[in-house]
Amino acid sequence: MKKFLKTLIPIELAKGLLLTGKRFGQVLFSANRRKVKLHVVQEYPEVVAKVQPRFRGRLQLIKDEQGELKCVCCMLCVKACPTNAIQIIAGKKEGRKTRIPTSYDFELERCVFCGFCVESCTFGAISLNHQFELAVYNREDLSLGLGGVFQSIDKPSPVAKFSYSGEE
Amino acid sequence: MFKSQEMEINMGPQHPSTHGVLRLKLRLDGETVKHCYPVIGYLHRGVEKICENKAFFQGQVWTDRMDYCSAISNNLGWAEAIEKLFGITVPRRARYLRTMLNELNRLNSHLLWLATHAMDIGALTVFLYCFRDREKVLDVFEAFCGSRLTTSAMRIGGLLEDIPEGFEKMVKDTLTDIREGMLEYETLLSENRIWLKRTVGIARLSADDCLAYGVTGPLLRAAGVAYDIRKAHPYAAYDEMKFEVPTKTEADTYARYLVRLEEMRQSISIVEQCLGGLPEGPIMAKLPKTLKSEVGEVYHPTEAPKGEIGYYLVSEKGGVNPYRFHIRTPGFLNLQAIPLMVQDALVADVIAAIGTLDVVLGEIDR
């Protein structure tokens, strides 16, 4: 009976509240001393999301000023790719000394976004752009090529509307 | 009418607090664990075998995906193992930057550990605070190497790129935020009565058992053995850094919590030392165009946030890929101590034991 009565007196509760109050007081005067903005949420779909300049997004072929592909089919990116995501068939074009890819197949579903292909390219012909919204409805849409069915390797992705794409 | 019998139940592989696809076969007597049998392999990808069939430099992308919470530590160990194999000397600036990134990664990993461990036990606020601060560390990684989780930050012989503009200020701000944040976590947990009830004396693992099972990292240091590879076998630029190896002797979950928090403080100090004394110079060693190996073998241990991660490489003459590639991951060896830790404990303590082990199934299954 005495034990039961003892449980009615909230000693433990008082101890806990004391600790909470002590700690709360400590943090109240020490937290956010640098007066940084507490609003850390990005309103992402409404506001375009910015990524860091070195961000590695989807692979994209770069064109020069005349609108021609810079790629000369040296196949270094094919060799560098750890997951064999790139396949190139080289071709020729009139009025151009170097070779030009007739097809540049890129399997987005196999890409690991390591950036080894961009690193290996000595002509600056490919880059990983800043797009990160790469989800599609059909699996076939992840096979990219020149003049692809849904998205093309030499243009930014049409689905990534809210991700910042730096160079286009 | 009532009968008592031992019951065998599965915890996981789809259980929210087993951190991935860990499956524990528990034999229970009421609520007491009589036997615990961890089942692994649900995330097996064959990383070692894949790396044996790829060129030396390509193996890095799989080390990212082993322990995906501490990708840079994995990258660092991998890069240094291959540099050891080929006898490459890394420039001093690159070594400093590697050390800095590795310590930031330790902060990242420990923050994630604290977040999930506290959430499993029931402190949801800590989870949110830790993720708020971890986000900043991930932003630093993104600024440095372009990726947040699967970094691929290292290159054989150094680093790919030097630090970007405004990087030092970014790191300093991050460190200030984490230091202030750590005060908040400690306020929420260190004297919290519920936290103490759930962690003090739970999942004990003595120093002898640790050594017998090959358990490394914070678990070993919380048992009183001051073994840290950064001190014992210095790599990168750790021989030029001043830091302490925190130890505790209680060997329980609470001691591991204190050890990891102290490690985070040491990491902040190391990052500051790296930033303060960052030497000028190149960041990439001169390398031959293609790496052709001679006959040799090498084992290189490094201190990942979870313990010793060692890369064992065997190379053959004229090979462009390793003949044998083996990884000693800390999680795998730490996990085998779990039956000992939860013997005759309650089911709720199994959750605490999983949390304190800091399991990431990506590196255990590989």
DSSP label at residue B58: G
- Mapping DSSP to helix (H, G, I), strand (E, B) and coil, where does residue B39 land? strand
The DSSP-derived string for B83-118 is HHHHTPPPPHHHHHHHHHHHHHHHHHHHHHHHHHHH
Nearest C-alpha in A relative to B129:
A40
DSSP label at residue B21: S
Kind and range of the H or E run holding B127? helix B124-145
Contact B180/A51, CB-based, under 8 Å? Answer: no
Q: Which residues contact B208 (CB under 8 A, 6 or more apart)?
A: none
Which of the pair, A2 or B215, is modelled with greater confidence? B215
- How far apart, in whole angstroms, are the C-alpha atoms of residue B214 and residue B337? 9
ipTM, interface predicted TM-score of the complex: 0.78
- Residue A148: the pLDDT is 65
Of residues A27, A55, A80, nearest to B146 (C-beta): A55
- Residue A33: the pLDDT is 64
Nearest C-alpha in A relative to B155:
A116
β-strand pairing of B32-39 with B154-155: unpaired
Contact B191/A19, CB-based, under 8 Å? Answer: yes
Contact B191/A15, CB-based, under 8 Å? Answer: no
For residue A160, the distance in angstroms to the closest alpha carbon of chain B comes to 18
- With an 8 Å Cβ cutoff, is B285 touching chain A? no
B325 interaction partners in chain A (CB closer than 8 Å): none
- Residue A5: the pLDDT is 79
Average of pLDDT values for A111-138?
85
* Start-to-end CA span in chain A (Å): 80
- Residue B120: the pLDDT is 86
β-strand pairing of A126-128 with A59-61: antiparallel
- With an 8 Å Cβ cutoff, is B160 touching chain A? yes
Of residues A16, A53, A114, nearest to B152 (C-beta): A114
Contact A31/B191, CB-based, under 8 Å? Answer: no
A128 interaction partners in chain B (CB closer than 8 Å): 146
Residues belonging to chain A with any Cβ–Cβ distance to chain B shorter than 8 Å: 15-16, 19, 23, 26-27, 30-34, 36, 40, 51-56, 80, 82-83, 112-116, 119, 128
Contact B54/A82, CB-based, under 8 Å? Answer: yes
A15 interaction partners in chain B (CB closer than 8 Å): 193
- With an 8 Å Cβ cutoff, is B196 touching chain A? no
Contact B150/A112, CB-based, under 8 Å? Answer: yes
Ranges of residues in chain B whose predicted pLDDT is under 50: none
CA pseudo-torsion sign B114, B119, B122, B128: positive
A165 pLDDT higher than 60: no
- Residue B190: the pLDDT is 83
Nearest C-alpha in A relative to B145:
A54
Among the ranges A89-93, A164-168, B203-207, which has the highest mean pLDDT value? B203-207
Least confident segment among A10-24, A75-89, B166-180, B255-269: A10-24
The DSSP-derived string for B280-337 is -S-SB----SS--B-SEEEEEEEEETTEEEEEEEEE-TTBSS-SEEEEE-HHHHHHTT
Kind and range of the H or E run holding B199? helix B193-199
Q: Which residues contact B79 (CB under 8 A, 6 or more apart)?
A: B60, B98, B154, B155, B156
Map out the domains of chain A with their CATH numbers: 35-168 (3.30.70.3270)
- Which band of pLDDT confidence, cut at 50, 70 and 90, is reported for residue A108? confident
B177 interaction partners in chain A (CB closer than 8 Å): 36
- How far apart, in whole angstroms, are the C-alpha atoms of residue B83 and residue B61? 17
A65 pLDDT higher than 50: yes
How many interchain CB pairs under 8 A, A with B?
67
- Residue A44: the pLDDT is 79
Alpha carbon B144 to its chain centroid, in Å, reads 20
- How far apart, in whole angstroms, are the C-alpha atoms of residue B183 and residue B268? 14
- With an 8 Å Cβ cutoff, is B187 touching chain A? yes
- With an 8 Å Cβ cutoff, is B46 touching chain A? no
Q: Which residues contact B114 (CB under 8 A, 6 or more apart)?
A: B126, B130, B185, B257, B260, B261
Nearest alpha-carbon partner for B328 in B66, B38, B13, B41: B66
A119 interaction partners in chain B (CB closer than 8 Å): 160
- Which band of pLDDT confidence, cut at 50, 70 and 90, is reported for residue A164? low
Fold of the domain built from segment(s) B7-365: Cytochrome-c3 Hydrogenase; chain B (1.10.645)
For residue B321, the distance in angstroms to the closest alpha carbon of chain A comes to 12
Can you list the positions of beta strands (E) in A110-157? 126-128, 143-144
- Which band of pLDDT confidence, cut at 50, 70 and 90, is reported for residue A168? very low
Tokens 């030009």, residue?
Answer: A100
Contact B187/A23, CB-based, under 8 Å? Answer: yes
Q: Could you tell me the pTM of the whole model?
A: 0.86
Contact A56/B146, CB-based, under 8 Å? Answer: yes
To the nearest whole number, what is the mean pLDDT of chain A? 79
